[in-house]
Amino acid sequence: MNPIALVRNIHHSFQVCPTWTDRLNRLLWLYSDKRFVKVISPKQHRQISFRYAPPVGNVQVMVRDNQGSDAFIFSEVFDHRYYDFPLPYCPKYILDLGANIGLTSLFLNRKFPNAEIACIEPIPANLELLQKNLELNEVKANIFPAAIAIEDGSIQMEIGTLDYGHKIAGIAYGRALTGCTIEVEAISVPTLLKKLNWERINLLKVDIEGYEGILLRENCEWLNFVDAMCIECHEGYGESELYALAKNWGFNSPQQLTGIWVLTR
């Protein structure tokens, strides 16, 4: 264990957690893969409260002791503020593709409290915590237990070794996985818009482990109804593809921010 990192994590726990119990739980969560934590506090799930500056404020999350997977995503969203970028308007409709356990949707709800949010997530274990985290923070959102795809039906997903990084099977984009596969429901963006009765998507968040290379290239006339998008790019899809996307669909030049790219009109 790195003592410098431990001191840093203890200090940060005092900054972002309101009670001693939350601070201890955060540290045990961060070091849940360590042998001594597995002995003294063997848990699958932890409910931890945090306090951040506005617009986030106080939040409660249910997270897993899962080798740092949930902690990694949490730090991206709440500590490094990947999704705290300016928009020239307040979005009314936000679509979260690859919602995982709901952390980005929670952040965007605090940033844009009047927006209607829809979450798309295909993995059953993630869906359980997604629902719980939205309930804990009184976030009303439409949840679709499905993978986003270019057409409706079903699709195979490869399961990663961690609790993120699962991807559509058989695509040339994203990390190569060797885990098992599961079949999940697939839903297209046009079908989502009909089900939601939305005319436009004011903010589209895309974190779908490489499938962006297909979703944003095939059967994507629906991009005409997107005002802004933030994308986490994966292997095989990057800057040149984003510039082509912007040119073809009328967006401004892509902006590279910490961890993501942002396109606006």
Nearest to 211 by CA among 187, 192, 193, 227: 187
Give Cα 257 to chain centroid, integer Å: 16
- By residue count, the chain amounts to 265
| Architecture of the domain made up of 82-264 | 3-Layer(aba) Sandwich (3.40)
The predicted pLDDT at position 238 comes to: 95
Nearest CA among 264, 263, 193 for reference residue 233? 263
Write down the pTM of the prediction.
0.94
Q: What pLDDT, on the 0 to 100 scale, is given for residue 245? A: 97
Residues of the chain with pLDDT under 50: none
pLDDT given for residue 155 in this prediction: 97
**Any idea where the domains of the chain sit in the sequence?**
1-65, 82-264
What integer pLDDT is reported at residue 177 of this predicted model? Answer: 81
Written as six digits, the tokens of 192 are 């989502």
In the chain, the amino acid numbered 124 is: P
- The pLDDT assigned to 67 comes to 85
pLDDT in the model for residue 220? 96
pLDDT at res. 91 = 98
185 within 8 A of 147, measured Cβ to Cβ: yes
Residue 82 has a pLDDT of 97
Largest alpha-carbon pair distance within the chain?
56
Q: Read out DSSP for 172-185?
A: SSS----S-EEEEE
Q: In what order do the strands lie in the sheet with 261-264?
A: 141-144, 116-120, 93-97, 203-206, 228-231, 261-264, 255-256
| Bridge partner list, 93 | 116
